[in-house]
Amino acid sequence: MNNSENVKGRVHMIVARTVVYIILIFLAILCLFSFYMLIINSTRSNAQLQGGFAILPREHFLDNLKNAWNDASINIPRGMLNSFFIAACSAILTTYFSALTAYGIHVYNFKLKKPAFLFIMAVMMIPPQVSAVGFIQLMYKLKLTNNYIPLILPSIAAPVVFFYMKQYLESVLPLEMVEAARIDGSGEFRIFNQIVLPIMKPAIAVQMIFSFVSSWNNYFIPALLLDKAEMKTVPIMIAQLRSADYSKFDMGKVYMFILLAILPVLIVYIFLSKSIIKGVTAGSVKG
């Protein structure tokens, strides 16, 4: 009787595992299909793209690359460098200061602790578009147009990242560890930088990926503040290519530029995903 129940249990486990794998494979194909089509379309000419859908690559990859790279209306290398600088600085500032704020709210006990947390959560509920008009007007009054400061400095205040960091700290940072470091004579910034940040490495890597991608893809605010050609970012240049008049419009060039724009994001993701795995592994070994 026990043997038959064990066999049934194993069969059910195999069936359940097979169903899960099938669903995961389907979702993976669904997620990667759009990226695959982007690669395929980047190998097709404008005329071929106008002809309709195709599943196999064509022979115009190098032609599209040359046309996009040498386009006189945009400067792809400069645009990618601009976007990378803004996105990297924003990701670093966002994760560091959000983690620092989360550390302060989690570790310290003060009278306004709960109101401060509620205020940050209330700010998180406000859509960025609501404050965009006032922010743009302020930047024009301060003469900070065609400047990267308005695109980088506000990233210090990131309520969503703060909330994630605080939840992570509550699960991995015992207050006894902080007290022990204080007894040993460590200052607060030393405790945070040398003890807390290494513990938060997986969370920091995750949020750096999200922050980098969000800043890299940001079009709304940069389009309102940047009008000099040498300062434009990748999303502005892609929109500029797409808005070209019909006689100069080349879909193959647009798809190639989008493909080039995605590559840095993929590289950053691959690099930081390794940090996530290392951080989780180190945490499990310590535990």
In the chain, domain spans: 2-60, 65-286
Please state the rounded mean pLDDT for residues 4-14: 74
The fourth-level CATH superfamily of domain 65-286 is: MetI-like (1.10.3720.10)
Q: What is the pTM of this model?
A: 0.82
Task: Return the pLDDT at 97.
Answer: 93
Q: What was the pLDDT predicted at 157?
A: 84
Q: How high is the pLDDT of residue 89?
A: 94
Q: How many CB atoms lie within 10 A of CB 113?
A: 13
Which distant-in-sequence residues (6+ apart) come within 8 Å of 71 by Cβ?
241, 253
Q: What is the mean pLDDT of residues 171-191?
A: 85
CA distances in angstroms from 2 to 9, 11, 15, 224, 256, listed in the order given: 10, 14, 20, 71, 61
Phi-psi region of 16 (alpha: psi -120 to 50; beta: other; left: phi over 0): alpha
Say what the pLDDT of residue 95 is: 93
Highest mean pLDDT: which of 80-89, 105-114, 159-168, 241-250? Answer: 80-89
The pLDDT assigned to 59 comes to: 87
| Contact call for residues 256 and 67 (beta carbons, < 8 A) | yes
Average pLDDT over residues 7-25: 84
Q: Which two tokens stand for residue 236?
A: 């502005």
Q: Which of 259, 264, 238 is nearest to 73 (CA)?
A: 238
The residue-averaged pLDDT of 145-166 equals 89
Contact 217, 235 (CB under 8 A): yes
Model confidence pLDDT, tens digit, residues 211-258: 998 899 888 889 889 988 889 999 998 888 776 655 567 788 888 888
What totals of helices (H) and strands (E) does the chain contain, helices first?
15, 0
> Has residue 96 got a pLDDT over 90?
yes
pLDDT at 284: 41
Q: pLDDT for 277-286, tens place per residue?
A: 654 444 443 4
What is the predicted pLDDT for the residue at 245? 58
Average pLDDT over residues 60-72: 85
Is residue 117's pLDDT more than 90? no
pLDDT the model gives residue 244:
61
**Alpha carbons 266 and 36: distance in angstroms, whole number:** 14
Give the amino acid at 281: T
